[in-house]
Structure 1
């Protein structure tokens, strides 16, 4: 009998807008989760990444040596058929859209998909699966453009859903920012892993009706922590349909969780004491802030902190394989790239 994933309620303060209850998934260190999932990230020096599905590249990505930008080339792979299709009958059985019960049903449905014998996304360890909300453009503009190279970050809230509908073959991103940058460069932007279907596609039309009715199933996003982006792994046509109707689709986020114990030292105790004093002072003037103050106190007294991360597997063949694949794929493409951008990508 295949071992099961252990599921508990997620009580983490992720400091991002949430759309409903979430779950923590503890994936056992047993087959099939000890091997590479079907969708996974591979890495080699210097900052060369390859995201693959069933062994075929979804995209190649190179981060600049000074961590001030990146370039991306889409690959030949497609996510078609990676997850079961969500039928109208399945959507109807979930109950009243947007309610806690509705989200609970969808969480159960996705857990069943994720713990199939051949793991699509999960590997051994702890994961978080929970509903998300987007943030407005004004707030997204203040997000950092340079992703951290260190472990220990919480996921950035998603935004710029329309940017996910663009399907460029090759592009570069400038992470230096300086206050003037495209929204899709800010951390938390959403990147599709395949091109959206045409507006007159039958499924898109059906999803547009569901978007108008408020019954659209969630779009599943996977957090790629290294570059601070949400990847659409299921629901490309649902996202497209919702945006055609000028609606925001329900979003379900999935990310790998890393835990770090909080050292119980003098510095921590001083910080906690300061937090208690600040809370007392705030409540004297604004007693209605008690819920917000309690959340801050709980956060400041955590014994363990949880962060988002992305596991990178060694790329077999290293940089030579990465460059050979990129060069071979580029030959058959009509995509244009400036000579300087391309030279920097493959050097």
Structure 2
């Protein structure tokens, strides 16, 4: 069991700080396979093979998925959904307890996602199985949703049961994992719930798992930004006084404060481990 430190976030959600000494790499992990190739494993089980092809910055990513993925979360009951628990905290505890998830040393943000970019759950949702080809944007991103098992049909028994919860607004959120080099999301838990929401014409409610920057990294960035902020204020003070000086100072201070406040929660790079190597 992972024993992480929890930091509640304003507006809901939390950050899990997973300490040094936690086994790494995690059970659910990406590994390099060859140039322009990677795999996703859960334990020793191969789940996804990815291969990018093409010239220039815009490439195609060819995926092949295998059966056998196991959710890191236990099944959710209808009774639990009707109690409407604090889902990010509930999922955090379950991710700490599982031996199937992606948590490893570092800081992880868990929080509700209410807004996605247009098309994420429609045109950019991978519905084919087991193979798929994704058009990567310049820089390598794609910004869609990748299920780790086939999405069931709308009239599948479990989906039909979840559709009632979707209509009532009590559907447990889908757990999605942000992967930086995909610039997209992987469904960790809730494939049936996602299918139920989509069958009702709704965007699935989601909780996002995002690895965020380590303390040392964001503090170093904050020092650099702070020095630049002080330099701008000094430049402003060295100029002849003007009627807009107070407004400029307030604007600089506000942007500085907003930037510093966001730094600890910015997404970090998703590691791609060497096969059999340390995290």
Range class of TM-score, shorter chain: 0.7 to 0.9
* Residue of structure 2 in register with 1:313 after alignment: 273
Hey, what's the Cα distance between the residues in 1 that align with 2:256 and 2:19? 32
TM-score normalised per structure 1: 0.65
CA contact (8 A) 1:6 1:25 kept: yes
- Alignment gaps of 5+ in structure 1: 12-19, 95-101, 141-158, 178-184, 284-289, 318-347
1:51 matches 2:10 = no
- Alignment gaps of 5+ in structure 2: 237-243
Of 173, 180, 186 in structure 2, the residue corresponding to residue 231 of structure 1 is: 186
What pairs up with 1:258-337 in 2 under 5 angstroms?
258-259=213-214, 260=217, 261-262=220-221, 263-264=223-224, 267-270=228-231, 280=247, 296-301=255-260, 305=264, 306-316=266-276
1:241 matches 2:196 = yes
* Residue of structure 2 in register with 1:73 after alignment: 63
Of 18, 34, 38 in structure 2, the residue corresponding to residue 27 of structure 1 is: 18
* Residue of structure 2 in register with 1:171 after alignment: 132
TM-score normalised per structure 2: 0.79
CA contact (8 A) 1:165 1:196 kept: no
Deviation by residue 1:5-60 (Cα, 9 ceiling, x = unmatched): 1101236xxxxxxxx51211011223xx3233221111144121101123222211
Post-superposition offset of 1:246: 0.7
Taking structure 1 as reference, are residues 84 and 300 closer, same or farther at Cα in structure 2, changes over 3 Å only?
closer
Hey, what's the Cα distance between the residues in 2 that align with 1:240 and 1:71? 24
Post-superposition offset of 1:315: 2.4
What pairs up with 1:189-208 in 2 under 5 angstroms?
189-208=144-163
1:128 matches 2:128 = no
Taking structure 1 as reference, are residues 278 and 236 closer, same or farther at Cα in structure 2, changes over 3 Å only?
farther
* Residue of structure 2 in register with 1:160 after alignment: 121
Post-superposition offset of 1:234: 0.6
